Structure 1
């Protein structure tokens, strides 16, 4: 796909969202069902993912770890955004890789230390690009990728989260 095809594909959506801002507001959903061996079966558009404990918390490594899945979602979103922005800017990427590394201390989630926070302390993203583009254009590409990546922005600007319990 080139920049003209991308613009043509997105133009009707941009026009619609400008004219009717409410059309741009969507609610995305994720749902999981608890399973055997401490698993949670998460439905995706391409099938069910069985998530479970990370080996650092007692898992055997045969199930997806939600922490890894968070980093994978970040990489996926940043990769798609990078690809789209590069296309829009006319930047040729011969090869590109996106990596996310996150540091956490499992003592927190296991309740070993109340002083240890639960969750990632740091997340580092690396963009490895093979391109003949000017370094200033590549810097702008990364800046715009950060700006328009939904998962990156969500992690940077924590949304309000509410929790509700319902009973059958």
Structure 2
């Protein structure tokens, strides 16, 4: 299914540039941010632009949803700490060129080229208080800071073969592999990650 897509992106390079988005709603009470993930138990798969059928969740969407969730909870925590009453929503929008991950263009980058995080807030707080709230949220949001900072990422794999001898036919159906991926903080960094806030009294 990928071959027609690769051909399309070779003939129309701009078609490989897609936009993913995620949204969340700040909780009315307590420290929470409800992220619209589509399903409770998430099955990840390919995005339609890379050959998927759109049924499972896209890992790019999940990345943005993690950013929305973390930023929403961080903002709520900072607001409570500063005795500010704030409600509203959080949105993340990311742009990437799928030609990179498909390997159809060696010059196309793999991963997001830009991410925009925005808040739409309802509050009676002053402009200065809102500005300081967003500044603190950006500073203390773990996912946002992880995306903005260069990382040292270690990838490791371990393979466990079946303990019993299997026939070739059984081996094709029963072979199991366990993959372990270790992510150590400290290089993925999007080219641009911006934060914006809209407020209404």
The equivalent residue for 1:38 is none
Tell me which of 132, 142, 145 is aligned to 1:150.
142
Q: Does 1:138 align with 2:130?
A: yes
Gaps of 5+ in 1: 7-45
- What is the TM-score normalised by the length of structure 1? 0.70
Tell me which of 73, 77, 82 is aligned to 2:66.
73
Equivalent pairs, count: 125
Q: Does 1:52 align with 2:45?
A: yes
Q: Which has the higher contact order (CA 8 A, sep 6+)?
A: 2
Q: Does 1:115 align with 2:114?
A: no
Change over 3 Å in CA distance of 1:55–1:80 after alignment to 2: same
Deviations 1:78-105 (A, max 9, x none): 0000011011111111x31110000001
Greater CA radius of gyration, 1 or 2? 2
Query: Hey, which of these two has a bigger chunk of strand by percent?
Result: 2
Moved segments of 4+, more than 2 Å: none
Q: What RMSD, in angstroms, separates the aligned Cα atoms of the two structures?
A: 1.9
Gaps of 5+ in 2: 1-29, 32-38, 161-201
- What is the TM-score normalised by the length of structure 2? 0.59
Once the two structures are TM-superposed, the CA of residue 47 in structure 1 deviates from its matched residue by: 6.2
